[in-house]
Structure 1
Amino acid sequence: MHGTQIPFIKMALQSHRGVIVLNPNDNFVDLKTEKERLGSSTREEALTSTQSIWWIPKRGSSSPEEHTMYNVAFIAHGYGGLAFVDLLVQRKWEVMNKVYSVAFIDSMHNTQHQAGSDPQIQEWIQTYCREWVSNSKPLDKAVGSLMKMDCPTVSAGTERYGLAPSCCLHAIFKYLKSTLKAKTTTSFRYSPVATRSSTSKKRDNK
């Protein structure tokens, strides 16, 4: 199961977390299958002259970037990292308010190229993201990068790209757990707590 999402899904379920699996590479549907599913109605009008007559683009998922616009991912491998940063750029405040942490694995994103000089996006990625890269160093050891200095980068514990996700699996979930705990603690600390005395004071002031 090396290189698959199955270990990540199993660990997330064991931690009693909800799971959303993205497949931004799956952007087309077989027209024959679609006809059988819909019966007499078809979506032939969605075809363009440059596409095969047997394939039509999925609504809302005609590209990896558009696919990701409809979901939020916390673990992004390879091109998934680029798609996530595109989501961040397109829906900046929505992502910043809802996403508490992101784990990149050998990500293909480039913050400077995708987000330009937006200081808020750069600061958010620096604060809430971490990347694991294929490297000869031991797992979780810091790895310097001259190409991307947008978020902390550590070793995935292997030099083999295909094995990187499974090798850093536990490290990633440990990271996500710690960032969630920090987020929850901070939110609880600064959230107003309704008490009988505070409610009474509000009534008195009306």
Structure 2
Amino acid sequence: MYIHWEVIVLNPNDNFTDLNTEKERFSAREEALTFTQGACWIPKRGSSSPEEHTVAARNVAFIAHGYGGLVFVDLLVQRKCEVMNKVCSVVFIDSTHNVQHQSRHDPEIQEWINKNCQEWVSNSKPLNKTVHFLMRANCPTFSAGTEKYSLAPSCCLQSIFKYLKTMLKAKITTALRSSPVATRSNTRKKTGNK
């Protein structure tokens, strides 16, 4: 089975431009510091808040690093049916999300996350070793193979794409099994032709 990937890199933190210097701001922390220093920031055309920045298509897989995990869970809560039908899997990397808090203990969301998501975290364990969190067990969690937050995405990227490929194949296979195959005899029966 051939898998075709299209990648969209979302940076929901990059929403403003400084009119005075024409520099873009790249983080909420920089924005807070700069707003107090008198810069003239304007919203970028077509951009909005981090939570509104993300929409789903079909057979989408997300890789959410840090605050991106919180934004994805917010998207899931706000557009539950749409996301559950269109997103095949999600990878969290050192995510700041909290499913129990954000989903208001919605068991359907918690079950979907457990079934369709995995997380890699900065940890002293070797790559792909199971990591247990007592306070936050919402999906299978593995070591990213590094203790450095900034290196986690690159250290576990091959494992992430292997997982995403497996999940996409499973979703496509399930969809093919559940959709009826059109044959000439089925078509004739439906149209009444003989």
1:139 counterpart = 2:111: no
Mapped partners of 1:187, 1:153: distance in 2: 27
**Partner amino acid for 1:74?**
F
User: For residue 55 of structure 1, what is the aligned residue in structure 2?
Assistant: 41
1:52–1:198: structure 2 CA closer, same or farther, 3 Å change rule? farther
Mapped partners of 2:11, 2:37: distance in 1: 21
Q: Is the 8 A contact 1:68 1:87 kept in 2?
A: yes
Q: Unpaired segments of 5 or more residues in structure 2? A: 23-34
Q: Unpaired segments of 5 or more residues in structure 1? A: 1-14, 35-48
Mapped partners of 1:25, 1:101: distance in 2: 23
User: For residue 173 of structure 1, what is the aligned residue in structure 2?
Assistant: 161
User: For residue 66 of structure 1, what is the aligned residue in structure 2?
Assistant: 52
Query: In proportion to residue count, which structure has more helix?
Result: 1
Q: Is the 8 A contact 2:18 2:39 kept in 1?
A: no
2:113 to 109, 125, 134: 125
1:43-122 to structure 2, matched below 5 A, reads 52=38, 54-58=40-44, 61-69=47-55, 74-122=62-110
TM-score w.r.t. structure 1 length? 0.78
Coordinate RMSD, CA, aligned: 2.5
The alpha carbon displacement at 1:16 in A equals 4.6
Mapped partners of 2:84, 2:167: distance in 1: 14
Mapped partners of 2:172, 2:105: distance in 1: 30
Q: Is the 8 A contact 2:64 2:90 kept in 1?
A: yes
Mapped partners of 1:59, 1:149: distance in 2: 39
**Partner amino acid for 1:121?**
I
1:149 counterpart = 2:137: yes
1:41-97 deviations in whole A, cap 9, x for unaligned? xxxxxxxx9995621123563432222358876100000100111111111111111
| 3-state SS in 1 of match to 2:190 | helix
1:8-67 deviations in whole A, cap 9, x for unaligned? xxxxxxx75211110111121233588xxxxxxxxxxxxxx9995621123563432222
2:146 to 154, 158, 175: 158
